[in-house]
Amino acid sequence: MQKDLEKERKAIMKQWAKREEQIERTMGVTVGMYGDLLGIAGKSLQEIDGLELLTLGTENKTPKALTNL
C-alpha cells in the first residue's frame, strides 16, 4: 500500500509541475504580448487587471515565466 501511495504521489507531482510550467509560459507570453501592444497603442490601451507590477510579484524579483523568454 505504501508503494502505491508513493507512486500516486509522484504521478500527481509530475502532473502538477507540468501544469505549473504551462501556466508560467502562458503568463510570460501574455505579458510580452501586452507589452508589445502597449508599445504600439501607448496609453490608449486599457490596463489589464492582474498585469500590474505589484500583482505579478515583480517588486523584488522577476517571475520565472519572464526569465524564460
Q: Give pLDDT tens digits for 25-47.
A: 999 998 888 888 888 888 787 88
Q: Encode pLDDT of 43-64 as tens digits.
A: 787 887 777 655 555 555 555 5
Q: Which residue has the higher pLDDT, 24 or 34?
A: 24
pTM > 0.85 = no
Please indicate whether residue 34 or residue 4 has the higher confidence score (pLDDT): 4
Amino acid 58: pLDDT: 53
Predicted local confidence at residue 53, as pLDDT: 59
Dihedrals phi, psi of 26, to nearest 5 degrees: -60, -40
Contacts of 24 (CB under 8 A, 6+ apart): 63, 64, 65, 68
